[in-house]
Chains A and B, each alone.
Chain A
Amino acid sequence: MDSALMSRGVKRCPTWQFILWLCLFGGVLLWGVYAILLIWLKGLNQTNMNDNYGFALWIWADLGVIALGGGAFFTGFLKYVVGKDDLKNIINYAVIIGFICYSSALLILAIDVGQPLRSWFIFWHANVHSMLTEVAFCLSCYFAVLTIEFIPLILENRQIDKVPFFHNLSHNMHKVMAVFAATGAFLSFFHQGSLGGTPSVLFGRPFSYREGLLIWPWTFFLFTWSAAAYGPCFTLFVTRITEKVTKKKLVKQNTIDLLAKISGWMIATYIIAKIIDTWYWATVTAPSKGFAFMDFYSNNPLYGIWILVLEIVVCGIVPAIILLTPKGRNNSVALFIAVTLGCIGVLLNRWVMVLQVVAMPVMTFDKWVMYIPSWQEVATTILPVAYGIIVLMITYRYLPIFPQEQELNPNP
């Protein structure tokens, strides 16, 4: 029925099957939309946030999707600036995943503020000392860049491409894409870094506070580094899932291998930096504020030392080793485990830098406070997943995302 919209020479599932899945994920999306409306109409009392948990599930989700979406800027940087041309076979998907992640982040921010209609104050009354101001500016600009990077892809749809204007526009946009990729990398460096600075400039919160270089705490650099390291893991993770769902090989192994290897090196170097940062914080920064290392990991029902071991060893060192060895990269199961662990690792890092920061008591007569999100918070956090799947379904069906698809899957 909709075959005229699909690229020539590729096979897609029947329309009824496509619509069925679309309805399924659309239902989840509508559940999230209902929760959003409740929150906008009735206020943030619909959540389980409280005065201890000013930042909670949503801010974690924001930091998480932005880190995972880092695959877009880093893959673009590698392809267009460094010149790793092989990555042209996966860059389209990286851009779409990045677009989904960043649009989700902006949506979550729009529901997370108490007075959404005043959100523009962040630009109008900008406080140059605030990390959030930098985040807001760079995030908005980078989302614009991602949209510009996404547009030529949409214009490549078989029917749209027939219009000469769109065909030429797409062609010309591709020609100048290096400029946008470089701009995106520059902007990403700052907003990923500012997100790292957001908890670490809080000198009233010894768990997250870090010293640093000039005005930037060390986590400014660690967050950028980790997004560049783990973002490609998410790109590879989603690509692998897509291949499983479509039962097709979509990207050649040499491209996967290249991105996985670069990701492995980035994770390995990041983890070394992270260990040094943790060591310095535990032995110098925190004790100077009167805190022993184990104060951060005891006397509470959840946050034990296991969380640090899981983040650094299981989700850092292990995936780095797998991704750095040719055997690991060529074994599809090992590769999938590595990129999955990588994604979990960066999400865990963002979790502790948001949730554990506010859970922990600072005044001696305060107590640890735990938090369970309300269904409205859960629904609005799952919404981006459903939205992302729907966007991926539509773009995969109607746009030529994978340049190697035809070659890898010749029609019988």
Chain B
Amino acid sequence: MKKEVKNEKAKKYGMVIDLDKCTGCGACMVACMSENNVPFKEDESNKLDSIAWMRVYKLTNGKPFPEADICYLPRPCMHCEGHNGHAPCVSVCPATATDYNHETGIVSQIYTRCFGCRYCMVACPYHARYFNWWDPVWPEGMEKYLNPDVSPRMRGVVEKCSFCFHRYQTAMNKAYVEGRRKLEEDEYQTSCAQACPADAITFGDLNDPAHAVHQIAKPDLKHGGRSSNPNAFRLLERLGTNPKVYYLSSREWVRRAGDNYLKKDKTVKKLH
């Protein structure tokens, strides 16, 4: 058993979202909210102060008919690795309430340690971090339907997508009981990946060649995890955030929407 642990390669959980498949149905958002006890308000119309760990953006190519085109882009937390685990949010948190787990590549959020300074929210260019402006209030009876594996958050702290980390813990517990240290691909899946009816979301270990995410994203570890797949891109790759969520699209304008370019620039793949 000891030998097995020693030789175990660190995991790097990540996601590939096929934007050509995404229909913008929002099932991933609903599944995420339900799975993670994400609080909501009576009136959710103001998206600037309502919480959605997984948020679906609607992108347009800005062209008139008949060339008009749209794309839906689901945006979870990118679980950035930055440079050697220095994710934008992790390095700034003054109370170490958010941490980069080098064993899984998951960026955690410790709700009971967060004191609500919101520096991490300012640091995150993806708006993936949300503040609890209110205490969570559940409609009568709904508290019975809360997920017992996920602690609800209190007013005044920041929260975000955890890649359903509680599922990882449950799967690892089961594996330990069965004398294993390694998880099968389907043993740990996020709720959004499972809920997507179009099968647009693939989740797994980017370091494991047997996992679908590795095969699709083809991360080039020598170049900061950049994908070798010509249709794959990551959001704001040029900032050096080194995210672990990859997007796929056969459409050039969608890939270009993933990052900022000067007018004279080609896409990022051609830049490097």
Residues of A within 8 A of B176 (CB): none
- Which residue on B lies nearest to A130, using beta carbons? B94
Contact A119/B241 with A51-B121, A357-B122 known, Cβ cut-off 8 Å: no
For chain B, give the interface size range.
35 or more
Q: Are B88 and A45 in contact (CB under 8 A)?
A: no
Q: Are B92 and A202 in contact (CB under 8 A)?
A: yes
Interface: A362 (CB within 8 A): yes
Choice from A51, A131, A290 contacting B92 with Cβ under 8 Å: A131
**Binary contact track B205-226/A, C-beta < 8 Å → 1, others 0:** 0000000000000000000000
Residues of B contacting A: mostly: loop
Choice from B91, B257, B261 contacting A130 with Cβ under 8 Å: B91
Residues of A within 8 A of B124 (CB): 204
Contact A125/B133 with A114-B118, A290-B260, A364-B257 known, Cβ cut-off 8 Å: no
Interface: A299 (CB within 8 A): no
Contact A55/B238 with A114-B155, A126-B95, A363-B125 known, Cβ cut-off 8 Å: no
Interface: B25 (CB within 8 A): no
Q: Are B92 and A121 in contact (CB under 8 A)?
A: no
Interface: A115 (CB within 8 A): yes
A116–B125 Cα distance when bound, in Å, is: 26
Flag the segment in B13-21, B108-116, B180-188 that touches A: B108-116
- Which residue on B lies nearest to A43, using beta carbons? B155
Residues of B within 8 A of A198 (CB): 119
A49–B116 Cα distance when bound, in Å, is: 13
**Binary contact track A111-126/B, C-beta < 8 Å → 1, others 0:** 0111110110110111
Q: Are A51 and B240 in contact (CB under 8 A)?
A: no
**Binary contact track B58-98/A, C-beta < 8 Å → 1, others 0:** 01000000000000010000000010001010011111110
Q: Are A365 and B260 in contact (CB under 8 A)?
A: no
Interface: A203 (CB within 8 A): yes
Residues of A within 8 A of B157 (CB): 114-115
Residues of A within 8 A of B156 (CB): 43-44, 113-115
- Which residue on A lies nearest to B135, using beta carbons? A43
A130–B86 Cα distance when bound, in Å, is: 11
Interface: A309 (CB within 8 A): no
- Which residue on A lies nearest to B41, using beta carbons? A45
Residues of A within 8 A of B239 (CB): 203-204, 206, 289, 362
Q: Are B125 and A54 in contact (CB under 8 A)?
A: no
Q: Are B73 and A43 in contact (CB under 8 A)?
A: no
Q: Are A365 and B257 in contact (CB under 8 A)?
A: yes
Q: Are B92 and A205 in contact (CB under 8 A)?
A: no
Contact A113/B91 with A127-B96, A365-B59 known, Cβ cut-off 8 Å: no
Q: Are B114 and A129 in contact (CB under 8 A)?
A: no
Q: Are B129 and A51 in contact (CB under 8 A)?
A: yes
Q: Are A112 and B117 in contact (CB under 8 A)?
A: yes
B44 to chain A, nearest CB (A): 13
Choice from B121, B131, B133, B241 contacting A203 with Cβ under 8 Å: B241
**Binary contact track A161-204/B, C-beta < 8 Å → 1, others 0:** 00000000000000000000000000000000000001101111
- Which residue on A lies nearest to B265, using beta carbons? A290
Return 30 A-B CB contacts under 8 Å, by A number: A43-B134, A43-B135, A51-B48, A51-B131, A52-B127, A54-B119, A114-B155, A114-B156, A114-B157, A115-B154, A115-B157, A126-B96, A127-B93, A129-B91, A130-B91, A131-B92, A136-B94, A202-B122, A204-B123, A204-B236, A205-B122, A289-B238, A290-B260, A292-B262, A292-B263, A295-B260, A362-B260, A363-B125, A363-B235, A363-B236
Other than the known A118-B115, A205-B122, what 13 A-B pairs have Cβ atoms closer than 8 Å? A44-B156, A113-B115, A116-B115, A121-B97, A122-B95, A130-B94, A132-B119, A204-B88, A204-B236, A205-B125, A289-B239, A364-B256, A364-B259
